Amino acid sequence: MTAPLPELSRIIIADKVTTAGGFEVVKATDAECAALAERFDLLSVSGLTAKLRLRRVRSDFVKVTGELEADVVQRCVVTLEPVPAHVKEEFSALFAPEHLIPKEEEDGESDHFQYLGSDEDFPEAMPGGRIDIGELVAQNLSLALEPYPRREGVEFTPILEDVGPDTLSLTEDTPPEPPRQNPFAALSRLKKPS
């Protein structure tokens, strides 16, 4: 079984990336924007463009930095009405050959990664020496989205109000239920004096 093709794919051969670096622009087509909207459960995505810089670091690694912009329309989490937004996000990623990335069963990081520094992301694999910068852009678009979009002026009013660990009130007017009796309390009354 083969993996599904990404909605936005732009393959870069890692061996062609130099230490001086290079620039790439990813501009999504209308069909790619529609596919991304479906993937991320959006009403629409348009004008998705990303400018990226790729450069080789430490001989085997490729550092990708970039900025993406897009216009998206999400659903309001309260009213389900359309909520348009302009997304602008900077991102970076580090890629390494698959054989240099520690397996999940290995404890800790390999010695090869210890000098990268704590501010670096853990590297992503470059299967077959390829980097899909289109998928990288798609993932970062997803991360840049407002997780709980609300139409302007709309506030969430909870229906249920938790008033304590043992009581639940539907409204403020409903009195809380009395606390439950311990089921073992009846057994203590049955206990015979010694």
Lowest-pLDDT range of 53-67, 71-85, 152-166: 152-166
pLDDT value at residue 118: 45
Higher-pLDDT residue of 179, 110: 179
Domain boundaries, position 129 = 11-144
Q: What is the pTM of this model?
A: 0.72
Residue 193 lies in a domain: no
Phi, psi of 82, rounded to the nearest 5 degrees:
-65, 140
Look at residue 121 in the predicted model and tell me its pLDDT: 66
Q: Tell me whether residue 1 is in a domain.
A: no
Number of domains observed in the structure of the chain: 1
pLDDT at position 95 over 70: yes
Report the DSSP beta bridge partners of residue 168.
Answer: 162
Q: Does any domain span residue 99?
A: yes
Establish if 113 belongs to a structural domain. yes
Q: Which residues contact 134 (CB under 8 A, 6 or more apart)?
A: 6, 8, 9, 10, 11, 26
Over range 166-180, report the average pLDDT.
Answer: 62
In a domain, 101, yes or no: yes
Residue 155 domain flag: no
At 102 the pLDDT is: 75
* Domain presence at residue 56: yes
**Domain-located, residue 58:** yes
